[in-house]
Amino acid sequence: MTATAVIQARGLTRQFGQLTAVDRLDLDVPPGQIYGFLGPNGSGKSTTIRMLCGLLTPTRGDAQVLGFDVIREPEQVKRRIGYMTQRFSLYGDLNPVENLQFMAEVQALPGSERRRRVDQLLERFHLADLRTQRAGTMSGGQRQRLALAAATLHQPSLLFLDEPTSAVDPKSRRDFWEFLFQLTETGTTILVSTHYMDEAERCHRLAIIERGVKVADGPPADLAAGIPYAVVEVMTGQGADARSLLQSRREIASVTQLGLRFRVLVDRSVTQPVELVRQVLAGEGVSGEVSLSAASLEDVFVAVTQKEQAGS
């Protein structure tokens, strides 16, 4: 393990019978950052996190977390990390104080420390006014904050969050991410899986996972800058005609519709991508505004996943 890596994996693989859920994953996660896993459901994100947490034994490969081997020393790993699952896993018939006190006992926090730490977390995650309310009657965003409080109760230096915002509203998601950035400011490293593009863009570094394979890795801005296509945006009211014409050209890798707009990925070998798109549309009488655009993270995702599918 390198001196700066909090998580390092090499060739990490997990098979379930004939299914390869994670395929030869290499991973390096630096300290004090939010590292994201972006991918659709079933891409291997949760399986990877469970292996890194010491909850699932890899079929092949190896990984170290906080300097401990996840295969030979899983209990050492579990004691030193925080883990928040996609589903709310605390007790619905207990209130926030009772849930946190129970978790403090599980984490073996000293008795003198428990009350102070519970009160501190209730304030930090805006739960003080809900201290007597049963968790099962709380909103999705409130339960989410309670789960994060429980995961950070023992002040771990590394947090694993498995699609933690999949069941909450956009405002709660935004607020949740503010809490995550506050944690990184104190030195906490966070690995979070998501299928939301806006959340992926918030990460310091990002791995895109497709069918168990890591197809891209880097800061979101670098991934967008390195996309092997020019991105052309088309505004037209003749959507069906435009899509059919553009998809017929071999130089065009993808056409994605967003309302009246189309995001068109044109191979870099085309020296004048805007002119190409204009000519394709005009040749069949389709009118519209055509312009060059900066690549978005969604463009990156489309590009790298299509490349992976084409190569399989």
pLDDT, tens only, 107-130 = 888 888 899 999 999 999 999 999
Does position 4 have pLDDT exceeding 90, yes or no? no
**pLDDT of res. 167:** 74
Does position 306 have pLDDT exceeding 80, yes or no? no
Give the pLDDT mean for 129-150: 94
Whether the CB-CB separation of 280 and 249 falls below 8 Å is answered with yes
Give the pLDDT mean for 144-151: 94
> Which of 12-26, 155-169, 220-234 bottoms out in mean pLDDT, i.e. has the lowest?
155-169
Give the pLDDT mean for 132-137: 95
C-alpha span between 270 and 252 (Å, rounded): 10
Q: What is the pLDDT of residues 62-120, one digit of tens each?
A: 999 999 999 999 999 999 999 998 888 899 999 999 999 999 998 888 888 899 999 99
Task: Render the burial of 259-286: b for 16+ CB within 10 Å, e for the rest.
Answer: eebbbbbbeeebeebbebbbebbeeeeb
- What pTM, to 2 d.p., does this model score? 0.89
Q: Which residues contact 252 (CB under 8 A, 6 or more apart)?
A: 246, 264, 265, 266, 267, 277
**pLDDT of res. 309:** 57
Reported as a pLDDT band with limits 50, 70 and 90, residue 41 is confident
Residue 160 φ/ψ, nearest 5 degrees: -110, 120
Q: Which residues contact 72 (CB under 8 A, 6 or more apart)?
A: none
C-alpha span between 299 and 311 (Å, rounded): 18
Two structure tokens written together for 40: 């659709």
Reported as a pLDDT band with limits 50, 70 and 90, residue 260 is confident
Domains and CATH numbers, the chain: 7-219 (3.40.50.300), 228-294 (3.30.70.100)
Mean pLDDT of the chain: 92
Give the pLDDT mean for 237-246: 88
Percent of the chain with pLDDT over 90: 79
**pLDDT of res. 6:** 96
